[in-house]
Structure 1
Amino acid sequence: MEANQETVVTMNQEEDELDSKESVLQKYFLQEWNILKSLLDDIVSNARVSDTSSVHRIRSILDKYQEQGQLLEPYLETIVSPLMNIIRSRIIELGTASDEILEIIKPICIIVYSLVTVCGYKSVIKFFPHQVSDLELAVSLLEKCHSTNSVTSLRQESTGEMEAKCVTLLWLYILVLVPFDISTVDTSIANDDSLTEFELSPLVLRIIGFCKDYLSTAGPMRTMAGLVLSRLLTRPDMPKAFTRHYIMMFVEVHTVLVLMYVMLLLMYVGRLDVRIIIQI
């Protein structure tokens, strides 16, 4: 009986300590929030990060709450929405052909990805822009990020390339749920009526191509790519086209193998005929 009472007392003490710790952290975060908000306001007002040291300062504040992400959740919309709107508006303004777009978005993505690591992606992506027209923007941005690979992963992390890819993949994770046939928002085939329900649109093929590449890499991009594919390939308009796409791939591979076999057989027969002729 006494042992049970001691256990209860110990558990209550531990709960009190946890409550006390969370209370202290909450008060501490409220003090830091003013600093954080000031740094974020500066980024939003300039529509870019003008001082890279502010990114490191923001990240150092956020990283303190790795195990208390719930403290940040009430502030996520205030942080995430303006930052993602900068990314969206600057893509529209500059286009993805410009190298300047990566210089602008990479520091911002470092901040957004820091929130993902602290609060979890499900909490963060709720505040990503999700207009139908954003799908092509996100794919074009991913294509731009995908074509600029650094030599080492360390450099990717320090410059924000990895974070930019992860944030863009998470953006696509939201956007591939658009309640329309993706082919109808693919401007590359806007005036092309030849695409059937059994064919994948170029936009879908681009997404699948990028994700396949990331699935073969180590790190968070593999996870994000898996999330995108899981949503993309389970869309109602995907099964028929996707099935036909891979059947055709199988047929093509099978045809190549058969042709190779026939060629080898002919070569063998040819060699045999030569030997017979020589013997004769």
Structure 2
Amino acid sequence: MVLNKMNGDEPEQEDYRSLEPDVIARGNILESFTESKEAQELINNLRLDHEDLILQETAIQKFKVIMNTYQEQPHLLDPHLEWMLTSLLDIIRDEASPPSLVHLAFKFLYIISKVRGYKTFLRLFPHEVVDLHPVLDMLVWQNPKDYETWETRYMLLLWLSVTCLIPFDLSRLDGDLSSLEGCTRVPTMDRILSVAKSYLVVSDKARDAAAVLISK
């Protein structure tokens, strides 16, 4: 080591350090989503886990660990995104699902979107005309002050941003806005803008999703 310094060469230790990033990179290269069965088991067990706060937190942490493994290679999740989304939306759309279970499913959706990127993940979300009002209604029912469920509001705002991109004017969904009692219902477009604007002033991540919705 001393002779290397005297000859103007860098210490051998520095040579090894220069190789470390490359060695680490090769060691982190993955070939597929090897934890797919474990992820599926976690999702399938949500209907039981939601009843216990400890089980909820354990399931969330395990799912985060699995997903975070693919931060550098999120494309490996692509062949599995559809079944994960379908399984979680089945829970969300099930009228028998209690709120705690629905919010837990949305937390899992958020974890996936965070790793894969919401733009890629959103392409798989149902976005037919019939999806718009149910998603909008679900969003309107949320409590913007409930800091425990911000993932639900974040994902609903993003989901609404793709469902509202229908190839015709939204007014065609409203029909006759006058009810039998003589009251006037709010047009769909106004409802969307109203709820989106209300989330532009919140302090959580739902604000970012609201901005995406308004831009659409």
User: Which TM-score band applies after superposition, normalised by the shorter structure?
Assistant: 0.7 to 0.9
Note if 1:221 corresponds to 2:209: no
| Post-superposition offset of 1:181 | 2.2
- Which structure's residues are more often helix, by fraction? 1
Query: Residue 3 of structure 2 aligns with which residue?
Result: none
Structure 2 matches for 1:3-152, cutoff 5 A?
Answer: 17-23=24-30, 26=31, 29-30=33-34, 32-43=35-46, 46=47, 49=50, 51-52=55-56, 53-87=58-92, 89-90=93-94, 93=95, 101-145=98-142, 147=143, 149-150=145-146
Structure 2: gaps (5+ residues): 1-16, 181-185
| Contact kept in structure 2, 1:48 and 1:86, CA below 8 Å | no
| Post-superposition offset of 1:210 | 1.4
Query: Residues 179 and 111 (structure 1 numbering): CA distance in 2 closer, same or farther, change over 3 Å?
Result: same
Structure 2 matches for 1:143-222, cutoff 5 A?
Answer: 143-145=140-142, 147=143, 149-150=145-146, 156=147, 159=148, 161-186=149-174, 189=177, 202-222=187-207
Query: Residue 256 of structure 1 aligns with which residue?
Result: none
Query: What TM-score does the superposition give when structure 1 sets the normalisation length?
Result: 0.59
| Contact kept in structure 2, 1:162 and 1:221, CA below 8 Å | yes
Alpha-carbon distance in 2 for matches of 1:204, 1:138: 14
Local SS of the residue matching 1:72: helix
Query: What TM-score does the superposition give when structure 2 sets the normalisation length?
Result: 0.74
Query: Residues 14 and 135 (structure 1 numbering): CA distance in 2 closer, same or farther, change over 3 Å?
Result: same
Structure 2 matches for 1:240-259, cutoff 5 A?
Answer: none
Query: Residues 71 and 13 (structure 1 numbering): CA distance in 2 closer, same or farther, change over 3 Å?
Result: same
| Post-superposition offset of 1:69 | 1.9
Query: Residues 74 and 212 (structure 1 numbering): CA distance in 2 closer, same or farther, change over 3 Å?
Result: same
Alpha-carbon distance in 1 for matches of 2:109, 2:150: 12
User: What are the superposed Cα offsets for residues 138-185 of structure 1, whole Å, 9 maximum, x if unpaired?
Assistant: 11111111x3523xxxxx2xx3x1100011011101101112321222
- Post-superposition, which runs of at least 4 consecutive aligned residues in structure 1 deviate over 6 A? 10-13
| Post-superposition offset of 1:191 | 7.6
Local SS of the residue matching 2:29: helix
| Post-superposition offset of 1:119 | 0.8
Query: Residues 12 and 148 (structure 1 numbering): CA distance in 2 closer, same or farther, change over 3 Å?
Result: closer
Aligned length: 192
Alpha-carbon distance in 1 for matches of 2:176, 2:72: 45
| Contact kept in structure 2, 1:39 and 1:58, CA below 8 Å | yes
Identical-residue share of aligned pairs (%): 26
User: What are the superposed Cα offsets for residues 97-118 of structure 1, whole Å, 9 maximum, x if unpaired?
Assistant: xxx7532311001000011111
Local SS of the residue matching 2:37: helix
| Post-superposition offset of 1:67 | 3.2
Alpha-carbon distance in 2 for matches of 1:133, 1:191: 21
One-letter amino acid matched to 1:61: I
| Post-superposition offset of 1:56 | 3.2
Query: Residues 219 and 148 (structure 1 numbering): CA distance in 2 closer, same or farther, change over 3 Å?
Result: closer
Local SS of the residue matching 2:199: helix
| Contact kept in structure 2, 1:109 and 1:164, CA below 8 Å | yes
Structure 1: gaps (5+ residues): 1-9, 95-99, 151-155, 193-200, 232-280
